[in-house]
Structure 1
Amino acid sequence: MNKTASALLSAVAGASALILVATTPAEANPNAINPIPVLNGTSGLPNLAGRTRAVFQVTGMASPNNTQSYNVLGTDLGIMWDNGNGEMLTAFGDTAGLGLPNLLAGSFWAWRSNILVRSHTHDPSTGIFFDSVVRDIVGQARDLIPSPKIPFVEISRIPTAGISAGGVQYMSLMSVQSWDDVGQWTTNFSGLAASGDNGETWGELPATRRPNDGGNANFQMNAFLKNGGFVYEYGTPSGRNKAAYVARVREGDIANLGEYEYWDGEHWSRRGDVNAAAPIMGGVGEISVMYNEYLGQFISLTTDPFNSVVMRRAASPEGPWSAPEVLIDTRELPAAYAPSIFPYQTGRDLYFVTTVHTQYNVVLMRTTL
């Protein structure tokens, strides 16, 4: 065990009464966590008896990736995409680590809002292994886009989608203003950031900001899909148990909001008319979409209003989408959220990662289609 992990364990053992452990299924606030195995009531991978199996601990002190070596004890999300050259980039959301706590925000941890790791894993059957991480000058994982982390101004800037387009990496991030009721939060806006050096440095694209009002409020959290020369953007309002919408844009115009078309339920709208977007599915949380070669269909993963992880199918990116199929029943794992599809085809096996809030770390899952 490295010095960082030992120091953190000692600190936690001495102040464990002060640390909040999540007890609700879909808690949103990342401050209310304890990522230390055993001390947070978890030991090993979740034991699932249904259609899906937990196969690998991706992050945290129990992971073979040893993410504590760059001061990531706990994290959520796990937004994966191919960088256009066969390398997988993964952006994680709020990360808990050792350092100066942000007591103003109610956190006993030092944390970052968005970090990135790289991997050449194409066969996840034995796990997802990281090759490198974007670090700061002392070797810790660093924020890609800084956030002031001030309550009711911006408490965090969290990645929700990533894609490579025209040799440039793009992330969609949401600016979180406040954590509200369980599974709900309020955003200021969403917007794109871009990187021309494989995710090492990032710059915001202010012209892509979607304020949390009008039709743009339906695209505060996003997922990306490339198909037929278009980038499809699936959007939801902030929080869970909401409707999903879809837009599309030519790959070369991804940074130009005026070129986006919106599905109105029957047709693609005229460009730039965000208010034309109609719901394509309901009762969703964080969403991930991909074409699946084995099924010959597009699939989407999300959580439903009961907090089960569910899959839908469609013949085209805009739908119509099927009824949800439960992959992980909430009674098996009530603390799961934000399923994200592994970006490389794996035949009949569908691999995805999901966050388990009770341990505040990311786990790789496998479902047989």
Structure 2
Amino acid sequence: MREKICLIYNYAQHYRLGVFKLMDQQMECDFYFGDKMSDVKKLDYNELKGFKKELKNVPLFSNFYWQKGAVSLFFKDYKKYIILGEYYCLSTWLILFFSIFSSKKVYLWSHGWYGKESFVIKLIKKIFFSMATGIFLYGEYAKKLMIKEGFKPSKLYVIYNSLNYKEQIGIRKKLIKSDIYPDHFENKFPVLIFIGRLTKVKKLHYILEAQKKLREQGLLLNLVIIGNGEEKEFLSSKVLEYGLKDYVWFVGQLYEENAIAEYIFNADLCISPGNVGLTAMHTLMYGTPVITHNNFALQMPEFEALTIDKTGDFFEHESVSSLAIKIHQWFQKDLSREEIRENCYHIIDKKFNPDFQVSEIKKVMYGY
């Protein structure tokens, strides 16, 4: 009988169902989730037989918070813990501190290092992560940075990231080209797409500015935006200002995966001007490459899935001109759309999926 593992996470994000469900099936794991996280949809707890309890996330100051009920879990009959590695969760600090005087093992699941940390944040992170038994990271970039900061490579485990792969692979196998875009736009121009929350950090107005610039140069493009958020009104005003009303489609928030797959599969190129994150996982899964910025210290770890001319490209950070050039170059290159599609499938199928993640976690937790 394998030892029970206690997993404590900030929230049960719906897009984490794939990896949590596989852990539930293949590992002896009890799940404890925080109760809220802005407007992110919560997964159905009934999907996890190991779900135990919802913890209350109590805001303290700035981004710092306390998970009520988390610390008491350290005194239950668990010997191993996997905890989301957010240094601004103060209850996690206390659990790590207690683990120093215990034989219990605490593993953190975290972005780790970005490369933009100030002296003070570096110091805080070094203390925080040094108390952990090991750290599960989303990418090799973070691992290399942490090794430079003095962390032992043997404590750092790269498991990448994923979405709901099992559902998505089933949908992907049935996808065929449709006329969804010619029917809507009444033209056959190339289609750019973005999927995700419409927030300031995503800098989505860059896409509109690049689209306007390219239109003036004779390259006509359509743009599809899937998602809602604080920037919707601002972006809508820009569409009207730039005269792009007939070439931009705000689909809105969408959770129905078959519909999402059709939009992505039939698009030509995803543009993510801010940090790319899980947008890359979603679009690559359905065969559409991604262009995002090249300042990796300000990126999310999913940028590692992008290879120039194979699964995407990078433009100069905060440069609309560079973004426009990269989009123009992409459509000027003699790239096979089907070959690009297969490249996108390959990177997701190889590393960025729950099977890979859980396989790596099991090696650490169980030794196989």
TM-score normalised per structure 1 = 0.27
Higher relative contact order (CA 8 A, sep 6+): 1
Larger strand share, 1 or 2: 1
TM-score normalised per structure 2 = 0.27
